[in-house]
Structure 1
């Protein structure tokens, strides 16, 4: 099977995540406001950004693993049972390491 489309999608999404994570990091590094009410509001926003950043970092790790599987020639094979992953599943979830049955 040719996985060029999935690889392109993974590389594109990786670029989006990397850019957004950089922006999140920059936002979190900004000096807090002096006013305590503004600071409390800012802290709530920072907590949301931190959680979003953690989720995006996890997705980035899944993407890197999928790209490594493409390079190794094991992409499209379930990491649990060794069966082929359906092409439709790879189109929808290009970073998935498992077939539908094992993911359930």
Structure 2
């Protein structure tokens, strides 16, 4: 079994940063709309963009949590498709990878 402590640390740091960023976005989305109708249109457009960013963040958060679970269970670094080891270089480039480069192609 390979030691993935460095990957765990990086994933945990990234997770904390994403959770903090998502919380800021959600706080902004909870703000009431401006009384001015023209400002409301701008606020709604901004909110729509923020919701898209929040969705992307939430997806990455979920992927990181799954990667951390794989580290805990001892399956991190093993291709979910073919069962071969995922290269260290691939994991460094994409620590949430679940498939080796051959299966991901």
TM-score with structure 2 setting the length: 0.96
Structure 2 counterparts to residues 13-92 of structure 1, below 5 A: 13-92=14-93
> What is the CA distance between 1:84 and its match in structure 2?
0.5
Determine the C-alpha separation between the residues in 2 that align with 1:53 and 1:102. Answer: 29
Count of residue correspondences: 104
Q: CA RMSD in A?
A: 0.7
Cα distance between partner residues in 2 of 1:98 and 1:58: 18
Q: Which runs of 5+ in 2 are unaligned?
A: none
Shift of 1:92: 1.0
CA distance in 2, matches of 1:71, 1:23: 29
Query: C-alpha displacement at 1:101, in angstroms?
Result: 1.2
